[in-house]
Amino acid sequence: MNLHFAEISKAAASGAHAVVIMDQAGSHNTPKLAIPDNITIRMLPPKSPELNPVQNV
């Protein structure tokens, strides 16, 4: 996830701020994540598969 955040951070335009929406998977809310300053994380509510398109595949 840290590598993924680093790539998103680099891809964001200069001066822009990225918002990443994630589910509540354990790897998504570990304190070991290094979230860059230009990224904000928003978590989906627990037990809401209808909000996560991947759950519908």
Task: From 48, 46, 49, select the one nearest 28 (Cα to Cα).
Answer: 46
Per the structure, the count of domains in the chain is: 1
Q: Which domain holds residue 29?
A: 2-49
Q: Is the pTM of this model over 0.75?
A: no
For residue 55, tell me if it sits in a domain: no
For residue 20, tell me if it sits in a domain: yes
Residue 4 C-beta-side C-alpha neighbours within 13 Å? 7
Residue 51 C-beta-side C-alpha neighbours within 13 Å? 11
**Terminal CA-CA length for the chain:** 22
Per-residue pLDDT tens digits for 5-35 = 999 999 999 999 999 988 887 777 788 889 9
For residue 57, tell me if it sits in a domain: no
For residue 56, name the pLDDT band (cuts at 50, 70, 90): low
d(CA 51, CA 34): 25
